[in-house]
Structure 1
Amino acid sequence: MDPITVASNESSYTQAVLADLFSENVIAKMLRVAVEALENNTPPLVYPEFVPQHGEKSGLYFLRDRDFWTCGFFPGILYLLRERAIRYPQAFPYLGHEKDSVSTLTPSLRRQLTSLCRSWTNPVQAMMTRTDTHDMGFIIQPSVRRDWELTSNEESLHAVLTAARSLASRYVPSVGAIRSWDVLRQADVEITSLADDCLVIVDSMMNLDLLFYASKHLSDPSLADIATTHAWKVKRSLLRPETTQKEHKYPLYSTYHVVNFDPHTGGIKQRRTAQGYRADSTWARGQAWGIYGFAQTYNWTKDKGFLETSCGLADYFLQRLETSPACVERPMPDGKRMIGRYVPLWDFDAPIEDESDPLRDSSAGVIAANGLLLLSQSLAAMGDEGLAKKYFDAAMRIVSETIEYSYSQERARLVKSGDAVVVEDEVAGQRFDAVLKNATANHNAKDHDRYSDHGLVYADYYLLEFGNRLLGMGLV
């Protein structure tokens, strides 16, 4: 266990669990994937996306075409580790074996990590002019923006600002929103007309941060105006008011995943889901995107309406965790505690197909936890200490329980090999490339690309981002 103490009001047991955020295992796994996945793939044409938990190729990353929306997360993971090495050396997991010399190995490890960051990020940086996707925030910010902020690389700043303008080009004034997808094809639907349709998804809230950031750098208020208008459109069209028997400070909201607008009138043609259970269900990751995205939007605008919206989404998310069926919990080996309640079901309204092993989405939990942490900071700054503590404690509980429930027990470690660092399995033959298990990318029965219960690159990204947030807050 690394010598890291989480300075919070959580129990010492939770502190020990959270130490896995900063363990040698994390950097060892990511380092191995970064090196091996470049073999016959330099510069990268395919990027790590998910790790099957079952089947012939279980344990190894599936590589997806680099144009896919998840391409930014693996280089983002490398940059999160690089950020730790530069800004938070107390949390950078050196080789901890007594026989190894930290003083000789640490610089080698940093140099290797820096080189891998460049190799995996250069093709992503080149995507700055893409106008065929709204996912420019997901693609560019995890690595390219961090490169600018860590190294003052002006080329990276240029890529970030160019990507923001590319994203803004998808704004549809008649709708008051940025077009998310050009096409939606599933077993029961085919939406392909740019003239007659405008698809907007709740995930889009996470890409607005790019526009606000670029707006300040460019002194261009039009980018922030687009982001703000889009956020209000999402609030009015993709959120559902919810009732509760429990008293809450702000109104509660659940989320639709997809709305198809009429570009001629700006009105709603249809509400759907692409990755959730059904149109009117609460897809857990969509709810998490909403919490995080509205919290970010409040931080830029200081419009309390966005803060209240994020709080309403957060309270509903927590309510659904707390009221999930008893089968979501399982006893710990010591029989003294139950865990699993705070690792979300993939969709809160979907029928549970197997009560002995309900389908989860660990990525939804860690995304929501980052949003809750951001909310907690904002509320503390406003003087609302009670609600700030509630969301901080919830974020810590979600992440600590996710680590207990979903952290892969197939661990890796760093080993000295001459002047280099190599990776090996702690137990020979037991390998799982992701840090977390139990993520679900898409379990919609009508989708043509359905896959679930696996490791997932953005589950790991947001788990490690949570760790870096704690570091930035001075809590570790």
Structure 2
Amino acid sequence: MTDVFASSVSAATTVSELYAENIIAKALRIAQTAVGALPFAFPEIVPQTMESDGTYNLREANFWTCGFFPGTLYLLLERLIRFPQSINLDDSNIRREDVRSQLTTLCRTWSEPIRGMDTRTDTHDIGFIVMPALRLDWELFGNTQSLESIVRAAHSLATRYVPSAKAIRSWDLLKKKDIEILDQTDNMIVIIDSMCNLDLLYYASHHGQHPSLADLATAHALTLLGSHLRPEPVLSSSKDAYSGQWYSTCHVANIDPKTGELKRRLSAQGYAHESTWSRGQAWGILGYAETYAWTKDRRFLEASCGLAEYFLYRLETAPSCVSIKGRHVPLWDFDAPIEDEESPLRDSSAGVIAANGMLVLSQALATIDQPALSLRYRNAALRIVRDILDFALAPEKARLVSAPYQHVRAEEERSGVRFDGMLKFGTANNNAQARKRYANHGLVYGDYYLVEFGNRLLRMGLH
């Protein structure tokens, strides 16, 4: 098997579509047209069905995905402020300062309802809800209200920490067609996605001088090393691959809240309890890489490397029906049977989340004198995103047009041909026993992590 992740890849030429006018135009159009739904609903999915008009389906404001669209707006605003050279505008009559002005207003409008959610203790996803928009609002504008909201949200998340189990409770209950876990006295549901909410705790801990928040985040990450990570054999003979322990991950662990002992591993969104759900694997790569960045604890770096290598191995060894085009766009679950060999079900969001994690890994490894492994993960991240752009970038493009009074609006590049999502072929939940099963659509967090990947490259000086 050829090790494609070992060869050098140029960021400047590989992912140029990340900075095209289409990206900012789509976000601006949604922000302008869907603003009337605030504060009650936020974008979630764009169906790919023939019956769809290509617009975002909105989801109730308390759903865990509500923070990603405001976060996407702020990422684009970050480009306009910090990296104006990265913004490619096709119409010379459109001024960057006009786009920036409108986007600033829209960012504040879309983030205001998010700030009001910081006292929620009913969800472990409060990090996903507040951090994408409010962190950049604080960092770009010094808005102390947003920082205060982040700190409050972290304390809200801390109420879900169970000291006897050394972990944060993810869900209060689990209800599927085949299983129900309703009693919190003897059950504690923890999901691998929770690793990406720890960033909130570390950030608030250091900004707000609350060391206990960082302590419980680290305790949670340590607990999940045992509850969620499943050791896998090292399956690569490449000298460039990570030679330490490899891991797959389960999606859900049921832990005894009184003792912290693992009772059972499950899946709520993947194919089966024993399978490897690709987005869960991606959450693990990113979450452990971020946790290492905060703690410098080598156990977390090794976990992220082990998860990343297994992810890359499963991409490279995908069934032959996974075509050369889109080879590195992950299947929705690495172990699910292929139901349609002509169009195997993918999850583009899993790919861009994993790619973000590999960029964080690359930076971390570069600082501890592991240049070869650092380059491997940077190249892997770029190849994954390159394939995702080739395979899943929606061909229905948008563009910016001038409007009166120095305003800018967005429209379809081809009249009547619309798809609000930047990426297609996302899969939210394809578990056969799920109460809501839906796949093959644009996903708001797929778009968020696509744009975030572009910004990470800019922050690293790679584009």
Instruction: Report the TM-score, using the length of structure 1 for normalisation.
Output: 0.93
SS in 1 for 2:253: strand
> What RMSD, in angstroms, separates the aligned Cα atoms of the two structures?
1.3
2:449 aligns to what?
Answer: 462
1:390 aligns to what?
Answer: 376
SS in 1 for 2:116: helix
Correspondence 1:156 to 2:146: yes
2:23 aligns to what?
Answer: 26
2:33 aligns to what?
Answer: 36
Q: Deviation string for 1:421-470 (max 9, x for gaps)?
A: 12121111110001000110000000011100110000000000000000
Deviation for aligned residue 1:119: 1.0
Contact 2:234 2:245 survives alignment (8 Å): no
- Taking the TM superposition and a 5 Å limit, the aligned residue runs for 1:267-278 are 267-278=261-272
Contact 2:275 2:335 survives alignment (8 Å): yes
Q: Deviation string for 1:384-428 (max 9, x for gaps)?
A: 011011101100000011001100000010111222212121111
Contact 1:17 1:403 survives alignment (8 Å): no
SS in 2 for 1:374: helix
1:332 aligns to what?
Answer: none
Q: Deviation string for 1:161-210 (max 9, x for gaps)?
A: 00001111100111110000001100011112222211000000000111
Contact 2:65 2:128 survives alignment (8 Å): yes
1:189 aligns to what?
Answer: 179
- In structure 2, what is the Cα distance between the partners aligned to 1:86 and 1:106? 10
Correspondence 1:135 to 2:125: yes
Correspondence 1:364 to 2:359: no
Between the two proteins, the alignment pairs up a number of residues equal to 452
1:88 aligns to what?
Answer: 83
Correspondence 1:379 to 2:365: yes
SS in 2 for 1:296: helix
| AA of the residue aligned to 2:255 | F
Deviation for aligned residue 1:245: 3.5
- Taking the TM superposition and a 5 Å limit, the aligned residue runs for 1:39-54 are 39=36, 41=37, 43-54=38-49
Correspondence 1:56 to 2:74: no
Q: Deviation string for 1:327-377 (max 9, x for gaps)?
A: 111xxxxxxxx3221000000000000000000000000000000001011
2:411 aligns to what?
Answer: 424
1:314 aligns to what?
Answer: 308
Match of 1:298 among 278, 292, 295: 292
SS in 2 for 1:453: strand
Match of 1:241 among 207, 220, 231: 231
Deviation for aligned residue 1:84: 0.5
Contact 2:80 2:96 survives alignment (8 Å): no
Q: Which moved more, 1:428-437 or 1:236-245?
A: 236-245
Deviation for aligned residue 1:263: 1.5
- In structure 2, what is the Cα distance between the partners aligned to 1:284 and 1:58? 29
- In structure 2, what is the Cα distance between the partners aligned to 1:399 and 1:348? 18
- In structure 1, what is the Cα distance between the partners aligned to 2:15 and 2:331? 22
Structure 2: where are the runs of 5+ without partners? 1-6
Deviation for aligned residue 1:135: 0.5
Correspondence 1:218 to 2:205: no
Contact 1:27 1:93 survives alignment (8 Å): no
Structure 1: where are the runs of 5+ without partners? 1-7, 330-337
Instruction: Report the TM-score, using the length of structure 2 for normalisation.
Output: 0.95
Contact 1:17 1:404 survives alignment (8 Å): no
Q: Deviation string for 1:72-117 (max 9, x for gaps)?
A: 00000000001011111111243x224x2x4xx3222211101111
| AA of the residue aligned to 2:99 | L
| AA of the residue aligned to 1:327 | C
1:177 aligns to what?
Answer: 167
Which structure is richer in relative contact order (CA contacts within 8 A, separation 6 or more)? 2
- Taking the TM superposition and a 5 Å limit, the aligned residue runs for 1:400-415 are 400-415=386-401
- In structure 1, what is the Cα distance between the partners aligned to 2:291 and 2:420? 33
| AA of the residue aligned to 2:56 | Y
2:426 aligns to what?
Answer: 439
| AA of the residue aligned to 1:430 | V
Match of 1:71 among 66, 70, 73: 66
Contact 2:12 2:462 survives alignment (8 Å): no
| AA of the residue aligned to 1:298 | Y
Deviation for aligned residue 1:19: 1.1
- In structure 1, what is the Cα distance between the partners aligned to 2:283 and 2:438? 20
What is the percent sequence identity of the aligned residues?
56
- In structure 1, what is the Cα distance between the partners aligned to 2:96 and 2:62? 34
- In structure 2, what is the Cα distance between the partners aligned to 1:400 and 1:60? 25
Q: Deviation string for 1:4-61 (max 9, x for gaps)?
A: xxxx9525xx74451110110011111111111123x2x4210000000014224110
1:117 aligns to what?
Answer: 107
SS in 1 for 2:343: coil
- In structure 2, what is the Cα distance between the partners aligned to 1:258 and 1:377? 29
SS in 1 for 2:101: helix
Correspondence 1:259 to 2:246: no
| AA of the residue aligned to 2:269 | Q
Correspondence 1:352 to 2:338: yes
Contact 1:281 1:347 survives alignment (8 Å): yes
| AA of the residue aligned to 2:459 | G
SS in 2 for 1:326: coil
Deviation for aligned residue 1:274: 0.4
